[in-house]
């Protein structure tokens, strides 16, 4: 596991933690994901039409859960993982992500990745794109008992960083991300810069931003500490 990646001084409490989803939030993975899904289907199922439309309804969840819920063979997961490594050249960071991460680090915020990928593949793609060192920690679905939409990963992050729900934010693009944030009692930001994100998913976020750098602007304008609304969810 790639833990304690970025070196940083101890922060005064309360401090803010920004939890990022990976695919569809930090990086564009749609083309690689669909191709890998189709290739894995052809290798393990054979004839027939891959259920791509149904796949989109499960985005953000760990692949073992997707395999089970779509009724795919057990061999599908390993075939899909292999295909994602082969298609890694198709994955790229969204415009403005690097500049946003640089700005957030200058604000002395804890940056964490919480992804539906396994830890090894998450670290691989972040390292390949030169983004890994921005993050204090990377959590894959295999680092917690239950992946998103369960709140386990946020609870683990709060425990490890002695975090406060009022100063922790999740940035994501899927219904699983927002369900995870809500179950954990933290604020959810929708990645509106992802053109492939389902609008029906984004409306489940507390706020949707159209550019990554808007997150920095919001934090600078409001300050690091969030304020809780009447429903118990913090507001930036």
Residue at token pair 């972040």: 126
Fold assignment, 17-28+92-230: Rossmann fold (3.40.50)
Does the pLDDT value for residue 222 go beyond 70? Answer: no
β-pair partners for 93: 27
pTM score of the predicted model: 0.85
Cis peptide before 209 (omega within 30 of 0): no
- Measured CA to CA, the distance from residue 223 to residue 173 in angstroms comes to 24
Q: Where are the domains of the chain?
A: 17-28+92-230, 30-90
Would you state the structure tokens that stand for residue 202, as one six-digit string? 């984004």
Report yes or no: 160 and 138 within 8 Å, Cβ to Cβ. Answer: no
Q: Which whole-number Å values give the CA distances from 16 to 74, 133, 143, 161, 229, in the listed order?
A: 40, 18, 22, 10, 17
Does the pLDDT value for residue 14 go beyond 70? Answer: no
**Highest-scoring range by mean pLDDT, 5-19, 124-138, 217-231:** 124-138
């Amino acid at each position: 596991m790639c833990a304690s990646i970025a070196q940083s001084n101890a922060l005064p409490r309360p401090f803010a933690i920004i939890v990022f989803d990976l695919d569809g939030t930090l990086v564009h993975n749609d083309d690689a994901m669909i191709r890998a899904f189709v290739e894995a289907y052809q290798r393990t199922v054979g004839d027939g039409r891959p259920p791509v439309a149904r796949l989109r309804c499960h985005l953000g969840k760990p692949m073992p859960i997707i395999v089970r819920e779509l009724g795919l063979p057990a061999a599908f997961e390993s075939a899909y993982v292999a295909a994602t490594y082969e298609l890694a050249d198709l994955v790229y960071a969204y415009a403005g992500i690097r500049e946003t991460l640089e700005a957030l680090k200058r604000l002395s915020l804890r940056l964490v990745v919480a992804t539906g990928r396994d830890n090894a593949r998450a670290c691989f793609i972040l390292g390949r794109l030169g983004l890994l060192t921005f993050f204090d920690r990377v959590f894959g679905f295999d680092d917690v008992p239950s992946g998103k939409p369960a709140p386990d990963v946020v609870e683990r992050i709060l425990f490890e960083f002695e975090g406060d729900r009022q100063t922790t934010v999740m940035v994501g693009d899927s219904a699983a991300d927002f369900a995870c944030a809500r179950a954990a009692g933290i604020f959810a930001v929708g990645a509106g810069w992802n053109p492939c994100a389902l609008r029906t998913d984004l409306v489940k976020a507390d706020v949707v931003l159209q550019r990554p750098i808007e997150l920095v602007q919001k934090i600078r304008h409001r300050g690091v500490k969030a304020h809780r609304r009447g429903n118990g969810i913090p507001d930036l």
